[in-house]
Amino acid sequence: MLRTRTRRSFLIGGAAALASAGLYEALYRSKAVNQLQWPLREVHEANRALTNLLFRQRVLAPTYKPSEVTGLRINGDFGIDTGLIESSWGLQLVGLDRPQQYRQFLPDVDLWEYRSKDDYESQTEARSQEPDVKGKGPEAKPKQNANAAPGGPPPKPQQAIPHLQESAGVTASADAVPGVVLRLEDLKKLPYTEQITQFKCVEGWSQIVRWGGVRFRDLLRAYPPANIDGKPPTYVTMETSNGEFNASFDMPSLLHPQTLLCYSMDGVPLQIAHGAPVRLAMPLKYGYKQIKAIASITFGNVRTPDYWEKLGYDWYAGL
């Protein structure tokens, strides 16, 4: 496929399928929740209380000197598109307070398309078998309507983000997901924070990393989520563009001052394998919560089971 659209339906559809099979309830009621025997689950419940306490009390993870930085190995590539054309990337924010107020508003963020060089290459290969007509390759693909293909051919921000007036006339389909799509430039306008912290993987290794980016709470300040029944949302779900990897969080974890949306490491732009353009750094939780290649952030009151939780790992993942 030439472009990847986000597939929130991947998760929602999966849950619905389980529910209709009557398995969803059974899975969550069972003592062996998510393949964990009950003694482990007990530990997780204690961990949960502790983790919440830590984040509420704003306990800080230790920070290190630049001379202590070790760099970070590459671990885990679910949902990572090595050929991502970074200019086609956008960060979808869903569940914001009055999203229409932002110039980056889109009536349906699910239509955002993430483009990949790999897809071009495989298309070009397939096409090289055909008689080649100059200018008819995938690069020459006609531009689609900016609203239908906001990720469009290497998009200029003006083309990619219709202004409110332009998009206001668009009739969104019933299952449209209205929201805001931020570009990297938008994130770079928010306060920049660096921190040198320890990164711990549950596999048993740890490294010292210099991260740079935006504190999640600074993002929330600039783009506040909508209240639900008069109260702030309780959960946040983040996904890669193809829905292959996701992670969900409670609000206190994200409001922690060391929770960063990172776009740099060692003072240079993040590598694709480390989650460019944007990944999470969260030194009070294990690596498996620190989702790389984030494409969408959704605020709500539903706790989405995340990738590693479904495989039996603790959702809180507190250190």
Ligand X SMILES: Nc1nc2c(c(=O)[nH]1)N[C@H]1C(S)=C(S)[C@@H](COP(=O)(O)O)O[C@H]1N2
Residue numbers of the site for ligand X (CB under 6 A)? 72-80, 201, 240, 245, 274-275, 287-288, 290-293
For 107-205, where are the E strands, in sequence order? Answer: 113-115, 179-182, 193-200
175 CB-contact burial (10 Å; exposed 0-12 / middle 13-18 / buried 19+): exposed
- For ligand X, the closer of residues 104 and 246 by Cβ is 246
263 binds Mo ion (CB under 5 A): no
Q: How far is the CB of 216 from ligand X (least distance, A)?
A: 16
Select the binding partner of residue 219 from Mo ion, ligand X, none (C-beta < 5 to 8 A, by kind).
none
d(CA 170, CA 108): 10
DSSP per-residue letters across 261-278: EEEEETTEEPPGGGTSS-
Chain residue whose CB lies nearest ligand X: 76
For residue 147, give the nearest of 155, 135, 139 by alpha carbon. 155
Q: Is 295 exposed, middle or buried (0-12, 13-18, 19+ CB in 10 A)?
A: buried
Q: Which amino acid is at 74?
A: I
- Find which of ligand X, Mo ion, none residue 293 binds, CB within 5 to 8 Å per kind: ligand X
Q: Which is nearer to ligand X, 219 or 291 (CB)?
A: 291
Instruction: Name which of ligand X, Mo ion, none residue 150 binds, using a CB cut-off of 5 to 8 Å depending on partner kind.
Output: none
Choose the contact partner of 291 out of ligand X, Mo ion, none; CB within 5 to 8 A by kind: ligand X
Rank residues 76 and 269 by Cβ distance to ligand X and give the closer one. 76
List the x/- string, 149-188, binding to Mo ion by CB under 5 A.
Answer: ----------------------------------------
For Mo ion, the binding residue among 212, 287, 305, 318 (CB under 5 A) is: 287
Taking residue 41's Cβ as centre, other Cβ atoms within 10 Å add up to 15
How far from each other are the two terminal CA atoms of the chain, in whole angstroms? 39
Selection from ligand X, Mo ion, none that 274 binds (CB < 5 to 8 A by kind) is ligand X
Judged by CB under 5 A, the number of residues near Mo ion is 3
Residue closer to ligand X, measured from CB, 153 or 277: 277
- Among positions 196-215, residues that touch Mo ion (CB under 5 A) are 201
Query: Distances from the Cα of 270 to the Cαs of 177, 213, 261, 285, in angstroms?
Result: 29, 10, 11, 20
Residue type, 232: P
Binds Mo ion (CB under 5 A): choice among 105, 288, 307, 313:
288
